[in-house]
Chain A
Amino acid sequence: MTRRLMLAAALLLGAALLSGCSHLGVKPWQRDVLARPDMQLGDEALGQALDDHLYFSKEASSGGRSFAGGGCGCN
């Protein structure tokens, strides 16, 4: 299921890029919602780092959202 959604995402964003995104996006005066702190990517940096640490140590996958590294995870 996730793979299909990923494919859909790639197609969606790829189409947006190829079309010049002429029908996507907003005007500068329409950014009120996008300016909210909870709409900023990476708004929960410490909490996300803590979760990434947990998953890096307990699972075979890490990263994707950002870089992952700097530890052995030997526990």
Chain B
Amino acid sequence: MSAASVRADDSSADPALPDPDPQRLVDSSLSYYHENGRIMAVEPVVNLSADFGNDETLGINVTFDSLSGSTPNGAIPSTKPQTFATPSGHNLSGVPQTYTTPSGTLGTVTSPIYTTLPGQLPMDPNYQDQRLSISSSYQKPLSRLMRVTMGGDVSYEHDFLSTSVNGALARDYNDKNTTLSVAGNAEFDLVHPIGGSPVPLSDYTLFDKVGNHTKHDLNLIFGLTQVMARRWLSSANLSVDRFSGYLNDPYKIISVVDSGGNVTGYLYENRPNNRTRASAFWENRFGLSRTMIGVSLRYMADDWGIRSDTAQLRLRWWNSDHNKYVEPQLRWYKQTQANFYTPWLTSMTVPSTFASADERLGAFHALTWGLKYAFQYGGDADVGPSELSVRAEYYTQVADNRLPGPGVLQGLDLYPGLQAILCQVEWKFGY
């Protein structure tokens, strides 16, 4: 996924300052992400922007991701070895099978399988993906107090294609101390999972899969930004998302267990085809002489029953020359579970409607600790200083509402949680 290229409330640029000559800025970064025992990702990003003055800007962003490693398939640990096929597989035998090609010749294929040891969380160890995303945005003034922003995004993975367009309108009031904005985004996605889309709630061992699917997202954001005082900027957003179409994760399954805790089979998950989500976001920035304090809060609710709270704190400490800074960051997040989330099914509770064991739809809380160091150099009257920075984050996720497993599952860790590190090197320079 990529972040939006349009902000609904980007009004804090000081209109009183003279616009510099048209200048170009290159913002580039290289990131490394690694989960404990799971996936790792490398992500180079280049963002080019040109500021033509008078609120007219153009930006282009190119992002590439390369992911590999292990990813949970949704099943729970068991006291016995468990064998699964990778998404491209068609059986669990591991035996080569003969097939006929469209041209009539015979071929053989071996379904890649993997076995999870007793007590271990089942994970597909062969996960690989690459993503290329290109986005752009253009902002221009409509009048002295009003500006419009338009943008678009194309993101391609070998099993997913996403396209979106967005636009925003912002108007200043009260000597440009108040800005109201409205922004909209329309996204169209094509989902073509490896091996096909499994039939929802079908038996995993049947490998009953069909073709491609689509999904859509419409998003509206209403924003208000207010200069509260000389050192205090406040901004609030209300947003509504409407997702529709294929919202399943095609690679996630659910374990079915008997009353003794023995795994008797697996089903593919099934989520509703629609989701409406609303969120409120509030950000404040306080500028002291050598310190910036940023505090943001977000509350989100959707019609899947998920509620989440997020709080984030950033502190930026500048040195006395104002050319180096250290920025610690802390983020706290908590969500409730979707009303169809279930870590496993028993043979007596196989649903006829919706069910998912995706841990991302379960109840959990998460903490992020981050630290950034940056130094600036160069710069003149026309071009601002360049900046080189390094940043590291540590993310932990801990499950809430831990149901004890039945029978033999009681001694197993069914909720292992997640720990991840993220490192980023970023270089910004103008010319």
Chain A interface category by residue count: 35 or more
- Cα distance A24–B22 when bound, in Å? 32
A58 and B360 in contact (CB under 8 A), knowing A5-B282, A64-B280, A66-B6? yes
Residues of A within 8 A of B6 (CB): 66-67
A46 to B302, CA, bound (A): 28
CB neighbors of A among B146-196 (8 A): 153, 155, 157, 159-160, 162, 164, 166, 173-175, 177-178, 183, 185, 187, 189, 191
The CA of A12 and the CA of B285, in the complex, are separated in Å by 15
The answer on a CB contact under 8 Å between B3 and A68 is yes
Neighbouring A residues of B361 by C-beta, 8 Å: 60
Q: Is there an interface contact between A9 and B282, defined as CB atoms closer than 8 Å?
A: yes
Cβ-defined contact, B2 with A41, below 8 A: no
Q: How many angstroms between the C-alpha atoms of A49 and B311 in the bound complex?
A: 17
Q: Which of B2, B230, B335 contacts A34 (CB 8 A)?
A: B230
* In the bound complex, CA of A60 to CA of B241 (Å): 13
Main secondary structure of the interface of B (DSSP, over half): strand
| B296 A65 Cβ-Cβ under 8 A | yes
A65 contacts across to B, CB distance below 8 A: 7, 237, 281, 283, 296, 298
Is B297 a contact partner of A9 (Cβ separation < 8 A)? yes
Cβ-defined contact, A6 with B299, below 8 A? yes
CB pair A46 B45 closer than 8 Å: yes
B227, B325, B384: most-surrounded residue (chain A CB, <10 A)? B227
Chain B residue contacts of A53, Cβ below 8 A:
1-3, 43
Cβ contact of A52, chosen from B1, B13, B175, cutoff 8 A: B1
A70 touches B162 (CB 8 A): yes
Query: Does B409 reach chain A (CB closer than 8 Å)?
Result: no
CA distance A66 to B2 in the complex (A): 11
| Contact A71 B131, CB 8 Å, known A60-B306, A61-B306, A64-B300 | yes
Q: Is the CB of B131 within 8 A of A6?
A: no
Contact with B along A18-34 (1 / 0, CB 8 A): 00111011111111111
**Is there a chain A Cβ closer than 8 Å to B4's Cβ?**
yes
Please tell me which one of the listed residues A9, A36, A42, A63 contacts residue B279 in the complex, with CB atoms under 8 A apart.
A63
Is B219's CB under 8 angstroms from A38's CB? no
**In the complex the two chains form, what is the Cα distance from A72 to B1 in whole Å?**
7
Check if B1 sits within 8 Å of A61, measured CB to CB. Answer: no
Residues of A within 8 A of B420 (CB): 54, 58
Apart from A31-B230, A42-B10: 18 A-B pairs, beta carbons within 8 A: A2-B299, A13-B226, A16-B178, A17-B226, A25-B177, A28-B16, A39-B287, A52-B1, A58-B360, A59-B335, A60-B304, A60-B335, A60-B361, A64-B281, A65-B298, A66-B8, A68-B3, A70-B133
Interface residues of B (CB under 8 A from A): 1-17, 27-29, 31, 33, 39, 43, 45, 47, 61, 63, 67, 71, 127, 129, 131, 133, 135, 153, 155, 157, 159-160, 162, 164, 166, 173-175, 177-178, 183, 185, 187, 189, 191, 217, 219, 221, 224-231, 233-237, 239, 241, 249-251, 277, 279-283, 285, 287, 292, 296-300, 302, 304, 306, 308-311, 316, 325, 333, 335, 338, 360-361, 366, 368, 372, 384, 391, 393, 395, 397, 418, 420, 422, 424, 426
